[in-house]
Amino acid sequence: MSEEELNLDAQLSGPWQRHRFMALVGIAILVALFLVGVSLALYATSGTAQLDLSRPGYQSVREQATHSDTFDGFPSDGNIDSGVIDQFRTLYKKLADQATSVDSFGGSAMNDQSLSIDASEAAE
């Protein structure tokens, strides 16, 4: 094709053909804004926003949150003998019984006791 044919083709093309790249970029931006709006709406309505302690409004609550390093678990190093295996089975059985004692689909699954949340520690 010669240069004159290309110029004639450009003159005969409509506005959509001339600006289709910018239109596609604009549509992509609109879709992204819509999806961000949906995700922010889900964040606010699902209750996750109330659990987010990194928000500036929760600085006083963030200081009240405690990190407990007292985990009565099984050591990851050491010798393996029958006493260690019995200790592991005892710890495992205690935690397994605690996990399976709650009816997962009942209303009591989300109470403080089944979640191992002590109300007196949370108030301090």
Residue-wise pLDDT tens for the chain (124 aa)?
788 887 877 777 777 777 888 999 999 999 999 999 999 999 888 877 766 666 666 667 666 666 666 666 666 787 888 888 898 898 889 888 877 776 767 666 666 766 666 655 545 5
Query: Can you tell me the distance from the alpha carbon of 76 to that of 95, in angstroms, rounded to the nearest whole number?
Result: 17
Question: Which pTM does this prediction carry?
Answer: 0.39
pLDDT of 28: 97
pLDDT of 119: 54
SS (H, E, C) the chain: CCHHHHHHHHHHCCHHHHCHHHHHHHHHHHHHHHHHHHHHHHHHHCCHHHHCCCCHHHHHHHHHCCCCCCCCCCCCCCCCCHHHHHHHHHHHHHHHHHHHCCCCCCHHHHCCCCCCCCHHHHHC
